[in-house]
Amino acid sequence: MMIRLIGLLCVWATLAPVVGAREPAADVPVIDSLEVSALPAGRHHFYFRAGWLSTGMPIHVPVVVLKGAEPGKRLLLTAAVHGDELNGIGVIHRLLEQLDAGALSGTLVAVPGVNQLGMAANNRRFPVSAGGGSYVDLNRNFPGTDEDTGPTAERFLGGLWQNLIKDNADMAVDIHTQTRGTAYPLFVFADFGNALSQQAAFLLGPDMIKNDPGQKGTLETSLMKAGIPAVTLEVGAPKVFQADLIARAVSGIKNLMRAHKMLDGEAVMPPMRPIVGSSYTNVYTETGGVAVLHVGLKDRVEKGQHVATLYDPFGQELKRYTAPHDGWVLAVATDPLREAGTMLVRILQ
């Protein structure tokens, strides 16, 4: 009898609600479009309905709007356009912890997880089930298409672009990381042809900057074409939260906000000037093998310098790889197992 009673109590404890717990985001409104000018001051959470699954269920993208009591610039922050690039989510979360709408002039629009399906699939790309299944790189397909025409991923992007992004930003920072098995330092892509984007690149306080005219289909380039100054902020490596880089990125974004009078205080140019280049070269493997790197991020290298060695499964040397030109190490392979044609190091010049 005692054993049976204990069993019943265990079942009841399993089924009973946990005191103080609530379903995550159960009370968050779902929206089809956003107009931040119509919102009152304060912090607002939304799920933006950005598309539809093959089951007929909606795709919901989380959005946080922090609207100040005083008017000012509208800063857009986006993270995880690639679903496995997670540091940007940490940046947005930590930044929001440190900001108060009452001390803000203007509006912060934050999207901490654009590619919800890629995040759920543990993949950098956006999964599409039609036609047997495929994966789409969202950051090569902005601004998408009209929400009622075109392929699935492009419709998803079109809905985001038309109803959330383009009419709610005066400037933007799109936060990424390097891809799986590789890492960046704190690094910015910025088009120096736009003075505000160039200024933003330095205010963010990165280790390195590439003066870059942009790439068709990226969110940054699409924003720039729409007249919205933007940069891409690369924060380290994928699939991890790197606390030091996240903290630096948060500090840099707050510095950018001060420069545009969104926060009190004076913006400062960081004392350590970043390394600036306008091109880079990847050193690729010719065969598969086990790689050992002899350089690290931000290292200065000279043409012909030995930067990596590739070994076979028995530990025998296959090939030594050298720097193709002088420069600085911008990205490195963090996974020693390298397939043929994969990157060992990226060198900025």
Query: Strands 289-293 and 337-338: what pairing?
Result: antiparallel
Q: What does R_g of the chain's alpha carbons equal in angstroms? A: 23
Cα separation, 94 vs 83, in Å, equals: 19
Helices within 186-231 (DSSP H only):
195-203, 219-225
* SS3 of residue 10 by DSSP: helix
Superfamily of domain 30-275: Zn peptidases (3.40.630.10)
Which residues are CB-contacts of 207 (< 8 A; sequence separation ≥ 6)? 185, 186, 187, 274, 275, 297, 298
CATH 3.40.630.10-classified regions of the chain = 30-275
* Residue count of the chain: 349
Burial of 349: CB neighbours in 10 Å, binned 0-12, 13-18, 19+: middle
- Side chain identity at residue 340, one-letter code: A
Question: One digit per residue, pLDDT tens: the chain, 349 residues?
Answer: 433 333 433 433 333 444 444 566 669 999 999 999 999 999 999 999 999 999 999 999 999 999 999 999 999 999 999 999 999 999 999 999 999 999 999 999 999 999 999 999 999 999 998 777 899 999 999 999 986 778 899 999 999 999 999 999 999 999 999 999 999 999 999 999 999 999 999 999 999 999 999 999 999 999 999 999 999 999 999 999 999 999 999 999 999 999 999 999 999 998 889 999 999 999 999 999 999 999 999 999 999 999 999 999 999 999 999 999 999 999 999 999 999 999 999 999 9
Residue 183 phi/psi, 5-degree rounding, is -150, 150
CATH class as words, domain 279-348: mainly beta
Start and end residues for every CATH 2.40.50.100 domain found in the chain: 279-348
3-class secondary-structure state, position 163: helix
